[in-house]
Amino acid sequence: MELWHFMHEVYESVDERAQELEPLDVDEFPSPESLKLEVGKWYRLHDVVCVYVDLKDSSKASFRKTKTGMAKIYEHVGTGLTKIFRNDNFKGEYVDLKGDGGFVLYTGKYSEVRAFIAAQTFKTYVYHHLRNVFDNIEIRFGIGISKGSLLVKRVGTRKWNYPVWAGRVVNHAALICKDVKQKFQLKTDVIGASQAVYAALDTGELRDYLVISCGCPHGRKEHLWREATPDDSAFPKYYYIEANWCETHGEEYINAVIGLINE
């Protein structure tokens, strides 16, 4: 291999395409067919909601499980996450799995609400069905939700390529996810939401179902969300919730929310 010549050729071929880049603003996710590899066109979407999900201490767990055991965990996580977030009631538009987690993207009206109720359903699912399944390995997740803009394009070579979703919204959701994992490492799963996402939940009738508790188990309603400041000072405060869907009222509440956003 002529190392220096090879690296120079790589740079020249990429830079030629990069010089012609001009992101195209679009209102909805482009179809997979429109994400051309050879064309130097990035799409830019605004008001995208990203849910970032990550398994806590997955590296430690991998040392305590057999290959089969870890495969089962990843199968449950990946398939369960996809089935929940892509459900017709939640309508996640893009799912990117990362083995022990992944992220889901939403656009359109009530995207913040659909993203949250999907995340809350996934969190409750993990608590009820996965927490005691894997030989004393605690299956706990951090979940971060943010809203903002992103860029998308298929990159790579003709043989090896994949869509890339780049932007502050994914980074912010990932940071919130990381922050709740660190702050609540020894507690239950936690969802953190950016101020923009939380504001969309804390409004009108939605507030009664997504922000205020049903009153169980003590018979008094409580505000379910708290403020938190991320360790990274470059990002603003966010809000977090520890509660799952209530076993008594959860089905009633989620169906009430689905009814409100589908009116």
Q: Give the residue among 54, 81, 50 at the shortest CA–CA distance from 172.
A: 50
Is 10's pLDDT higher than 90?
Answer: no
State residue 67's pLDDT score: 62
For residues 173-193, average pLDDT: 87
Q: What is the DSSP code string of 166-191?
A: ESHHHHHHHHHHHHHHHHTTTSS-EE
Per the CB < 8 A criterion, the answer to whether 85 and 95 are in contact is yes
pTM given for the model: 0.84
- The pLDDT of residue 18 is 63
| Residue 134 identity (one-letter amino acid) | F
Question: Comparing 33-42, 43-52, 169-178, 239-248, which segment has the lowest mean pLDDT?
Answer: 33-42
Q: Report the CATH architecture of 46-151+170-261.
A: 2-Layer Sandwich (3.30)
> How many whole angstroms separate alpha carbon 239 and alpha carbon 210?
13
Q: What is the pLDDT of residue 22?
A: 64
**Could you read off the pLDDT of 138-173 as tens digits, one per residue?**
677 899 999 999 988 777 777 777 777 788 899 999
> Strand 141-156 to strand 161-166: parallel, antiparallel, or no bridges (unpaired)?
antiparallel
Query: Mean pLDDT over residues 202-222, rounded?
Result: 92
Q: How many angstroms from the chain centroid is the CA of residue 154?
A: 20
